[in-house]
Amino acid sequence: MRWTLKPKPDANKVAQLQNDLQVPQAIAYLLVQRGIETFEEAKHFFRPSLAKLHDPFLMTDMEKAVNRVEKAINENENIMVYGDYDVDGTTSVALMSSYLKTRSPQIASYIPDRYAEGYGISYTGIDFAADNDITLIIALDCGIKAIEKVAYAKEKGIDFIICDHHRPGKEIPKAFAVLDPKREDCEYPYKELCGCGVGFKLIQALEHKLGNSAETLLPYLDLVATAIGADIVPITGENRILAYHGLQVINTLPRNGFKAILDQVKKEKLTITDVVFIIAPRINAAGRMKHGLHAVELLTEENLEQAQKFAQEIDQFNSDRKEADKSITQEALQQIETANEQKRFTTVVYQEDWHKGVIGIVASRLTETYYRPTLVFTKSGDKLAASARSVKGFDVYNALEACTDFIEQFGGHKYAAGLTLLEEQYEGFKQKFEEVVSQRIEPRLLTPEIAIDMSLALKEITPKFYRILKQFAPFGPGNMTPVFLSENLCDTGFAKPVGQEKKHLKCSVQQLPDKKFIGAIGFNLGEKFSLVEHKKPFDAVYSIDENEWNGNVSLQLKLRDLQ
């Protein structure tokens, strides 16, 4: 691990903010480091308000989109809500379809089949719309590159409204309206919405036309918060407001689909991390193992008993997904070791029978193991399909753009992308991708980094400090859980490796000459026991959380690394 201390914020600004807010210095330090420099900014950070959401009509084409939806509702047109099969896509479809159903009975939901139709808008979906007299398709979390498909729909008398957040290509589809804050000609002030977030802006605009504020849409924010967490978009600005209120909905009045999932896992209060690791994988599993529409049914079901049945099915899909993920990861690791490819700058593996639904997860696991840009390929019809994942600081989307001679189609983000190519192009692509990455990547990016917010003395960790720190949540990109460095620590004599295979490290640490000690747990740090035994001095990087044991709650260090 590479330890890097983030730049120190301006000391005068820290002192001023500490004085204005009457908080410990470390809190003011963290706030200024995150760009929060005034009392007013701190107020909005700690109390995110729906009143601070941007005017949706600042988004290019919003007026056109709203007018077209209103026309469809008023004239009883059949509307199809179309979305991708991942969490962002299925929550978007659940959001848009359940909202539109409050205003018209003529609403159909459509999620493409991951295996038969592939990613994004499909000709099959458009034909289905034409056969069912659908004259308007609202596409969510996809469509920004669907130039031919949108033209095909137009020939059949179908209008498209696209709500996407992926990077557009050189040309924008000639849809009736294209909502995407990443459009070059879009002046919308916040660029980091997820697909479900763009869908939310459309329903916010529709409500605004009826004279209602964003408050009326509060019940939909559980879906938006789930998409924000699962799609790993920055939890800053507007996303922070939406995630904050969405989590409150999940924790106080969740929709039946979420209630059914939470009944299975017996979890009380959820954080955004719980949403990412408990709710999101289950929603995703439907599209991975069976069909994304199962997830939409679960998320829009109004009868709790029926929702519980759906949740059981989806839990089974999730178990199947875990099995597939585990065996494919083992096969992929074996392939890399057999071919002796650990010295490369990239990891590219392929096996024709790997389950297409889990190659993205496998790519993430391989990235964790070898820490370099990774692609996992499988056979999909007469082509090969891959999921790409990257390491922090390296733009895999741009690297793929440099390999387009070998690629049929691709799309995605800086850290995650998908692509298809012809089988005969595989070896050429693999070589080209290795060349591009080896020329562009800085060697230091191939060692995982722990970005440290600040140095902290153990005596600064008080209940008041932690109470305020908790209010920095929801955490995520752009507002990560604060990570601290404390030097010259020693164990009080209780250190031991714990867990089934002694994989974890439990200890109780103090920073001499101070007598105060605090419990610490280091997951997967069991092999570092020798660094702390016999009261040897060490430095630790950690975050702070609470440990609950026998009804007692105490603060503890959650160790990330030791030296």
**551: pLDDT confidence band, cut at 50, 70 and 90?**
confident
Residue 308's pLDDT band, with cuts at 50, 70 and 90, is very high
3-state helix, strand and coil shares in percent for the chain, rounded to the nearest 5: 45, 20, 35
Question: Beta partners for 177?
Answer: 161
> Is residue 232 in some structural domain?
yes
pLDDT at 97: 97
CB 508 within 8 A of CB 494: yes
Q: Are 29 and 14 contacting, i.e. CB atoms less than 8 angstroms apart?
A: yes
Residue 268: pLDDT above 80? no
pLDDT (average), residues 177-185: 97
Residue 411 has pLDDT above 90, yes or no: no
On whether both 463 and 368 belong to a single domain, the answer is no
**What pLDDT shows up at residue 289?**
79
Q: What is the DSSP letter of 102?
A: T
- List the one residue out of 87, 193, 177, 174 whose CA is nearest residue 138: 177
Judge whether residue 350 has pLDDT over 90.
yes
Question: What pLDDT is recorded for position 403?
Answer: 96
Same domain, 308 and 344: no
Question: Residue 404: which pLDDT band, with cuts at 50, 70 and 90?
Answer: very high
341, pLDDT greater than 80: no
CB 370 within 8 A of CB 376: no
DSSP string over 490-509: EE-S--EEESTTS-EEEEEE
Q: Three-state DSSP class for 148?
A: helix
CB 142 within 8 A of CB 83: yes
Consecutive H or E run containing 2 = strand 2-5
- Give the chain's domain count: 3
Task: Say yes or no: 426 and 307 in one domain.
Answer: no
Q: Are both 155 and 292 inside the same structural domain? A: yes
pLDDT digits (tens, 9 = 90+) for 526-541: 999 999 988 999 999 9
pLDDT of residue 16: 97
Pairwise CA distance, residues 517 & 547, whole Å: 15
Q: What is the largest CA-CA distance in the chain?
A: 79
Confidence of residue 287 (pLDDT cuts 50, 70, 90): confident
What's the confidence (pLDDT) of residue 490?
Answer: 94
Of residues 493 and 125, which shows the higher confidence score?
A: 125
Average pLDDT, the chain: 94
CA distance 437 to 458: 42
CATH number at residue 431: 3.10.310.30
473 alpha carbon, distance to own chain's centre: 15
In a domain, 477, yes or no: yes
For range 71-85, the mean pLDDT: 96
Mean pLDDT of 332-359: 89
Type of residue numbered 264:
Q
The pTM of this model reads: 0.89
Label residue 339 exposed, middle or buried (CB < 10 Å: 0-12, 13-18, 19+). Answer: exposed
- State yes or no: pLDDT of 447 exceeds 90: yes
Same domain as 360, residue 475? no
Q: What average pLDDT does range 234-257 have in this prediction?
A: 95
* Residue carrying structure tokens 């959820």: 270
How many alpha carbons fall within 13 Å on the CB side of residue 552?
A: 5
Average pLDDT over residues 321-329: 92
Q: Mark whether 555 and 416 lie in a shared domain.
A: no
pLDDT of residue 145: 92
Asked if pLDDT for residue 129 goes beyond 80, the answer is: yes
Dihedral of alpha carbons 418, 423, 425, 428, sign: positive
Domain with residue 169: its CATH number is 3.90.1640.30
Residue 42 — very low, low, confident or very high, per pLDDT cuts 50/70/90?
very high
pLDDT tens readout for residues 140-174 = 999 999 999 999 999 999 999 999 999 898 999 99
Q: Both 442 and 460 in a single domain?
A: no
Query: Using 50, 70 and 90 to split pLDDT, how confident is the model at 414?
Result: confident
203 lies in some domain: yes
Note whether residue 38 is domain-resident.
no
Same domain, 440 and 461: no
Last-in-domain residue among 413, 430, 446: 446
On the CB side of 428, CA atoms within 13 Å amount to: 11
Measure the CA–CA gap between 156 and 160, rounded to whole angstroms: 11
Cα dihedral sign, 36-38-44-46: positive
Split at pLDDT 50, 70, 90, the class of 550 is: confident
Average pLDDT over residues 238-260: 95
Q: What is the mean pLDDT of the segment spanning 249-255?
A: 94
23 within a domain of the structure (yes/no): no
pLDDT-wise least confident of 280-284, 346-350, 388-392, 461-465:
280-284
pLDDT of 487 reads: 95
pLDDT at 549: 83
Least confident of 145-159, 247-261, 313-327, 438-452: 313-327
Residue 55: other Cβ atoms inside 10 A: 13
- Helix, strand, or coil here: 259? helix
Residue range(s) defining the domain that contains residue 532: 2-8+451-562
Q: 407 with 400: CB under 8 angstroms? A: yes
Among the residues of 57-135, which ranges form H helices?
62-74, 87-100, 123-131
User: Strands 78-83, 134-140: parallel, antiparallel or unpaired by DSSP?
Assistant: parallel
Q: Please tell me the distance from the alpha carbon of residue 41 to that of residue 21, in angstroms, as a whole number.
A: 11
Q: Of 418, 446, 474, which residue sits at a domain end?
A: 446
Measured CA to CA, the distance from residue 81 to residue 393 in angstroms comes to 35
Asked whether residue 379 falls in the same domain as residue 304, the answer is no
- What angle, 0 to 180 degrees and rounded to 10, lies between the N-to-C axes of helices 293-300 and 87-100? 50
One domain, residues 155 and 262: yes
Judgement on whether residues 148 and 276 belong to the same structural domain of the protein:
yes
* CA-wise closest residue to 358 among 110, 140, 86, 117: 86
Q: How many angstroms separate the CA atoms of 84 and 120, rounded?
A: 6
Provide the pLDDT confidence category of residue 122 given band limits of 50, 70 and 90. very high
One-letter amino acid for residue 223 of the chain: L
Domain end among 431, 446, 461? 446
Q: Which two tokens stand for residue 334?
A: 């074996």
Residue 241's nearest CA partner among 282, 180, 200 is 200
Kindly tell me if the per-residue pLDDT of 548 is higher than 90.
Answer: no
Is pLDDT of 91 > 90? yes
Q: Which two tokens stand for residue 523?
A: 């997951």
Residues 6+ apart with CB under 8 A from 401: 410
What is the pLDDT, as a whole number, of residue 457? Answer: 95
Give yes or no for residue 205 having a pLDDT over 80.
Answer: yes
Q: Is residue 383 part of a domain?
A: yes
SS3 387: strand
Within-domain flag for 18 = no
Q: Which residue has the higher pLDDT, 79 or 343?
A: 79
Please give the Cα distance from 523 to 468 (Å, whole number).
25
Q: Is residue 497 part of a domain?
A: yes
Q: Where residue 466 sits, what CATH number does that domain have?
A: 2.40.50.460
In percent, the amount of the chain with pLDDT more than 90 equals 82
Type and span of the H or E element at 436: helix 426-440
Q: What pLDDT sits at residue 479?
A: 94
Characterize the bridge pairing of strands 552-562 and 496-498.
unpaired
* 460, 13 contact by CB (below 8 A): no
Contacts of 8 (CB under 8 A, 6+ apart): 33, 454
Identify whether residues 352 and 415 lie together within a single domain: yes
